[in-house]
Structure 1
Amino acid sequence: MAQYQAVLQDEAATLALATRIAGLLSGGQTLFLHGDLGAGKTTFSRGVITALGHGGTVKSPTYTLVEPYQLKPFTVFHFDLYRLRDAEELEFMGIRDYFRADTLCLIEWPEQGSGYLPVPDLDIHLTFVDGHRRVLLQSQTPAGAALIKALTDDEQ
């Protein structure tokens, strides 16, 4: 399992990292975003979606559960499972249909969907430490490891 860690000084740094990662995505990937309320999960998602070409507002899908974005490279599905009452609801909404080679799935609060979600390519953990955000990326698949390798190679 490959890892990448960084300190994100502010929202701009979070968006910059999201933009860098967006440039490495090719579709078919699933990213889980972990962190407390206000840790930057939606900010990170907004950075990825905007970098992939969405020109409008990126809103948190807290009440809709999922927001689709039809973008030129691929379709992005932005999930927020915070308010999910029962993970089995994902089965009823056809969750498996979202995970395809021509999509990117960004999932906030993935632990709420435990047992109904695939293994993510990347687990992205956002935390507050000493007044700054810290990010820890952990690969869970070879595709995730390749993303982290490309990200670290880009820094050198």
Structure 2
Amino acid sequence: MTQPPFTLPSRRTVPLPNEAATAQLARRLASALVPGDLVALRGDLGAGKTALSRALIRAVTEEEAEVPSPTFTLVQTYETDIGPVWHFDLYRLSGPDEVTELGWDEARAESVLLVEWPDRLGPLLPDDHLEIKMTFTGPDSRQADLIGHGTWDGRLGALDLSGLEQP
């Protein structure tokens, strides 16, 4: 019996010349999210992970909603149009055992999760997730590389990013 060929997860690149472009990407992502989804946000400090999360949360609540960074609280929760959204910032954690103390199991069961510094999850990072790597391209510009893992491999291809992606 032959093994199916190994395929790389789908990947899409989106230039973000300014914060308005980041908010536009967040609105497109928000329209595709459902409870049970996990968005893993990677990138250096200041690369735009929190800005993207903030814009996404505002897209499913109110444009003027206060969305504080979870840097010190580690997690913030929101009731939104797409169900509960949990925004985790795991930068200050040392490993997966500390994540469970933040309500991880409850969050995974019923919510959309936005996770900054997902490497801290270790084996808790599910196979099905959307990874977004944020990188600097200039003082105010960024690039978002979206990588679909598991079921997100097919969903990413169906996501409408027209007008956002590089030609």
TM normalised by structure 2 equals 0.83
What residue number does 1:96 align with?
105
Deviations 1:76-125 (A, max 9, x none): 0000001113331123344222112x410000011122123323420000
Cα separation, 2, equivalents of 1:64 and 1:74 = 21
Report percent identity of matched pairs.
35
Residues 93-132 of structure 1: matches in 2 within 5 Å? 93-100=102-109, 102-131=110-139, 132=141
Once residues 130 and 46 of structure 1 are traced to their aligned partners in structure 2, the CA distance between those partners, rounded to angstroms, is: 21
Partner of 1:8: 16
Q: 1:87: which partner in 2?
A: 96
Residue 151 of structure 1 deviates from its aligned partner by: 2.2
For the aligned residue pairs, the C-alpha RMSD in angstroms reads 2.1
CA contact (8 A) 1:33 1:109 kept: yes
| Cα distance change, pair 76–16 in 1 and its aligned pair in 2 (3 A) | same
Structure 2 unaligned runs (5+)? 1-8
Task: Check whether the contact 1:88–1:116 (CA below 8 A) recurs between aligned residues.
Answer: no
Q: Residues 20-74 of structure 1: CA distance to partner in whole angstroms, max 9, x if unpaired?
A: 1111222221000000000000000011101112442111101111100011320
Aligned to 1:58: 67
Partner amino acid, structure 1, of 2:31 = G
Distance 2:92 2:17 in 1: 29
What SS does structure 1 have at the residue aligned with 2:21?
helix
One-letter identity of the residue aligned with 1:110: P
Distance 2:80 2:161 in 1: 26
Kindly tell me the number of residue pairs found equivalent between the two proteins. Answer: 155
Q: Which runs of 5+ in 1 are unaligned?
A: none
Aligned-pair distance for 1:133?
A: 0.6
The whole-number CA distance in structure 2 between the counterparts of 1:87 and 1:70 is 25
CA distance in 1, matches of 2:130, 2:46: 20
Q: Would the aligned equivalents of 1:34 and 1:110 in 2 still touch at CA under 8 Å?
A: yes
> Rg: which structure is higher?
2
Matching residue of 1:71 = 80
Which residue is equivalent to 2:54?
A: 46
Q: Normalising by the residue count of structure 1, what TM-score does the alignment of the two structures yield? A: 0.88
Structure 1 moving runs of 4+ over 6 Å: 153-156
